[in-house]
Amino acid sequence: MTKFAQLTLVVVLCLSALPVALAQDLPSPLARVAKALECARQESTSGWKVERVKPIAGSENVLIEIYVSAGRRAKVSIIYNRSEAEAIVKMKRGAAGNSAKAIQELGDGAYSWGYSEAIAFRKGNLTVYVSAVSDIDSLLPALGDTERTNLRRIEEIAINKSFARSVASFLSNLDKACQTMERG
């Protein structure tokens, strides 16, 4: 075996072990979510690029992914809690303030808040936060400031809702995420 072939083999083995290594730092329910997300991504043709982000020091039991597409970014943070009661407290803490609005039919309870209506919802012991940013300024530079501001807000709200619904649906069908890959 040539040195190049050996090096290639080592690189491939290291890269294939990366998702497993990342999942090992997570508690088992989050590791299960991370594995299912990997399976779903292998089948996805959504056009969103995904980057897994390491949580800040002191944060634990959290899985953070940033989705990027054409000047848009959506951050999805999934936190594992020891109990449903703890998940409810964290969800409400994230949505604290006078502008928080309850959202019906999303997970086991949900709120949106703020200018772009970021979303926090709960699914069992998991608390999920979704927040989006749109770079409409560079995408549509000819628009006036008011139009750009209004469009940015509308787009960010739509992205938040879309990702929150997708993640809630995904978490409801977690056991099915890797079945297609295993059958193929």
Residue 127: name the closest of 63, 41, 170, 35 by CA.
63
92 C-beta neighbours (distance < 10 Å), count:
15
Counting residues of the chain whose pLDDT is more than 70, the rounded percentage is 78
Number of domains in the chain: 1
Region 45-58: what's the mean pLDDT? 82
Pairing of strands 126-134, 110-113: unpaired
**Full-model pTM:** 0.77
Domain assignment of residue 130, given as a range: 3-183
pLDDT digits (tens, 9 = 90+) for 149-175: 899 999 999 999 999 999 999 898 887
Task: Take residue 40 and report the two structure tokens written for it.
Answer: 């779903």
Is the confidence at residue 64, as pLDDT, over 70?
A: yes
pLDDT in tens, 107-133: 999 999 998 999 999 999 999 999 999
